[in-house]
């Protein structure tokens, strides 16, 4: 039970930090700076603030998956994960 609570706190901290960092990136980056992708039907402008926002959230999701995967491997008996 201790390990489950510790895992839940780690995941909550990672997600909170990810959201805070994503909001800070979105707030600090100007909307006029970004990437322009050109295609056959037109152009698409993607501001850096949105790219930073989604990268921060993707990082939080990745860390969550790694922490949960490590806990699952420890539960099935891999001793190097304790």
The answer to whether position 27 is within a domain reads yes
Number of domains, the chain: 1
Would you give per-residue pLDDT tens digits along the chain (82 residues)?
566 677 778 778 877 887 787 778 777 777 677 778 888 888 888 777 777 777 777 877 887 787 777 777 777 777 665 5
The answer to whether position 3 is within a domain reads no
The answer to whether position 4 is within a domain reads no
The answer to whether position 5 is within a domain reads no
pLDDT for the residue numbered 2 = 65
How far apart (Å, rounded) are the C-alpha atoms in residues 16 and 24? 12
pLDDT for the residue numbered 79 = 66
* Structural domain boundaries, residue 34: 10-81
CB 69 within 8 A of CB 80: no
pLDDT for the residue numbered 4 = 67
The answer to whether position 52 is within a domain reads yes
pTM for the model: 0.53
The answer to whether position 50 is within a domain reads yes
The answer to whether position 53 is within a domain reads yes
Kindly tell me the sign of the dihedral angle through the C-alpha atoms of 24, 26, 31, 33.
positive
The answer to whether position 1 is within a domain reads no
């Amino acid at each position: 039970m201790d390990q489950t609570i510790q895992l839940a706190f780690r995941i909550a901290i990672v997600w909170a930090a990810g959201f805070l960092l994503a909001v800070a990136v979105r707030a600090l980056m100007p909307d006029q700076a970004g990437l322009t992708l050109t295609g056959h039907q037109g152009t698409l402008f993607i501001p850096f603030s949105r790219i930073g926002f989604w990268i921060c959230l993707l990082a939080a999701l990745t860390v969550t998956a790694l922490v949960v995967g490590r806990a699952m491997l420890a539960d099935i008996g891999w001793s190097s994960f304790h």
